[in-house]
Chain A
Amino acid sequence: KNQVEQSPQSLIILEGKNCTLQCNYTVSPFSNLRWYKQDTGRGPVSLTIMTFSENTKSNRRYTATLDADTKQSSLHITASQLSDSASYICVVSDRGSTLGRLYFGRGTQLTVWP
């Protein structure tokens, strides 16, 4: 069964600290993996996309990794800010159709305290 599992379910850190969010998937075949950030009361916004050939990609304070062999991805946030408080959702796409079916994780709820 194609699934996307995220951990931890929730996380509280102090401002300025680093954190790492995990995403494990069983989706096959695999096309790509995206991390989205969803602020409270808003729709998700794409942070980064990881394709099969990519291992690491950085976008400002966000660094995503992908291990396609173990089917794991992580999102590392450096020097956290209050505005990083949000739900982070991992979404995996297969290659089963022209569109590519999407499999969503339940998200990790990150809270950054001052």
Chain B
Amino acid sequence: SAVISQKPSRDICQRGTSLTIQCQVDSQVTMMFWYRQQPGQSLTLIATANQGSEATYESGFVIDKFPISRPNLTFSTLTVSNMSPEDSSIYLCSVGTEANYGYTFGSGTRLTVV
């Protein structure tokens, strides 16, 4: 299965600033997803990162707050913009292919906004 490198692994940020999280995969993948996991909660899908086109956002998430890029089939970024303490969460990148729908997750980015 694909191996995902997600950076940074953790960060502490000031409110009002932005943080960009990177997701690098060791092979080409069809699907890339970004999830949020708030403390003590399960995973919530933020958006599907589409290669060559705008990301598809889930209800409650907007592009201005969570802009996503996917320039190729192995890389994506998620930016958390104008952060507030409510954005403190773990952000996870996930990938899948038609050959293997056992979606693989990165190790996550633990974000604390102060």
**A and B form one complex:** no
Chain B interfacial positions (CB closer than 8 Å to A): none
